[in-house]
Structures are given as structure tokens and as C-alpha cells.
Amino acid sequence: MIIDYKLIGQRIKTHRIEKKLTQENVAEFLGISVSYVSRIERAAVKISLETLVKMASFLEVKPAFLIDGTTTDSNDYLHMELADAISGFDSNKMKLLLEISQSIDRFK
């Protein structure tokens, strides 16, 4: 996986603006300079994992969203999680899961 720091910076900036926060607000919370926040948003520096996690917390998003744009509510994310969860299932468990999903589908 290639980390796109430009997209990370754009996501940070977008959410900061949506929450009506200034770079000063972010800098104060994270204990970094305003110019460093600006450089993160412009991808002039590579944000550290620790700062990224703190930034995500402050912006009330998941770190994964800042990194790759996925959220835990997205269908792509849910499909990947489901595929991982059932990857070790034998045929009996797969049949049971299919029956359960068909039962759930009837309640639509």
C-alpha cells in the first residue's frame, strides 16, 4: 500500500473546515505549530502515526479514513471485513451463514 500524504492532508483540511476549526485550533490541541499543521495539509511533511491518530481523534474520524478514505460504515470496508471474517469457514459454516443471511433478508 502506498501512502498518499497529499490525500491525507486534503482529508484533514476538509474535515477541519467542515468542523469550523482553524489551523490554530488543531495546532493547540496537538501541541504542534500552526506552520506544521499547514505543512501536513499541503503534504510538505509526512505526518507521523502518533500525530495522525491524535488528529483523527480531534477531527472525530477514524485514522483509517484519513489514510485511505474508508469508513467503517462504507460497503467496501464492510465487504472486506466480512471476507476476512469468513475466510477460514468450512462448507458447513458457510451454509449456515448463507441460511442466516437469507433469513435476515426476508425481514426487509
Q: Specify the number of domains making up the chain.
A: 2
How confident is the model at residue 87, as a pLDDT? Answer: 86
- 55 & 101 share domain: no
List Cα–Cα distances, 68 to 11, 41, 51, in angstroms.
10, 15, 16
* Per-residue pLDDT tens over the stretch 33-78: 999 999 999 999 999 999 999 999 999 999 988 998 766 555 665 6
Tell whether 10 and 53 lie within a shared domain.
yes
Q: Mean per-residue pLDDT for 97-107?
A: 84
Residues 22 and 58 in one domain: yes
CA pair distance 12, 62, nearest whole angstrom: 11
The predicted model gives 24-31 an average pLDDT of 97
Q: What number of other Cβ atoms are within 10 A of residue 65's Cβ?
A: 18
User: Span 19-43, mean pLDDT?
Assistant: 97
Which three cell numbers mark 23? 489551523
Cell of 106: 426476508
> pLDDT value at position 13?
97
Instruction: List the single range of 12-16, 40-44, 56-60, 102-106 with lowest mean pLDDT.
Output: 102-106
pLDDT digits (tens, 9 = 90+) for 74-90: 566 567 767 778 888 89
- The Cα–Cα gap between 32 and 24 comes to 9
Q: How far apart are CA 51 and CA 7, in angstroms?
A: 16
Q: Residue 26 is part of a domain; what is its CATH number?
A: 1.10.260.40
Containing 12, the helix (H) or strand (E) segment is: helix 5-18
Give the confidence band of 97 by pLDDT, cuts at 50, 70, 90. confident
DSSP for 48-71 reads: PHHHHHHHHHHHTS-HHHHHHS--
Which residues span the domain enclosing 101?
75-105
